Amino acid sequence: MTYNFAFASDSSSFAGDPFAVRHGKSLPAGLRAECSEMSWTEFEATYAAMSGPIRLGAWSSEKIAPGRWTYEATLGLGERIATGSATATGAISAMTSMLHDAGIALEILSFHQHQIGHRTATFIFTECNGRRNWAMGIGESATESSLRAMTSAANRFSN
């Protein structure tokens, strides 16, 4: 399966839990406490940082054996474009490996997903080099939203 990523935003303003106001489902408690006064625009800009120095272009997967897949990705890393690949049991472990190979040692400490209509929202609490951050990704599938969340987390740590 191949994905190409684009991310839209809405400039509407929301108070309280911006995700719950917008989608009717609560954020994870730690994230909810962190963003309680944010508008949706502020929330999305902070936690879904898809336009930073780390960008995910193409993503593909091929099953090679029961429970084993080969994943390939095109990653924008600052000013350069790199191709990454990993053999793993799932997309999240493959992306973790590709980010690590690019010098970003991202660890997922907490993982949450919500179905929002036909899409999926993924929230991850991550650690990199002793710093911790929440990130969000929304996509057409659980895999796409997870990859978006991981890309957003990598961008949050690059600041």
Helix (H) or strand (E) holding 70: strand 68-77
Residue 9 has what pLDDT? 36
Residue 96 has what pLDDT? 96
Secondary structure (DSSP) of 94-143: HHHHHHHHTT---EEEEEEEEEETTEEEEEEEEEETTEEEEEEEEESSHH
Residue 13 has what pLDDT? 31
Work out the end-to-end distance of the chain between its first and last CA atoms, rounded to an integer number of angstroms: 31
Residue 15 has what pLDDT? 43
Mean pLDDT by 10 residues, the chain (159 residues): 43 60 90 88 90 91 94 94 94 95 94 95 96 96 96 90
Q: What percent of the chain shows pLDDT beyond 90?
A: 72
pTM: predicted TM-score of the whole model, two decimal places: 0.85
Residue 37 has what pLDDT? 85
Residue 21 has what pLDDT? 87
Q: How far is CA 127 from CA 28, 107, 134, 146, in A?
A: 16, 5, 9, 16
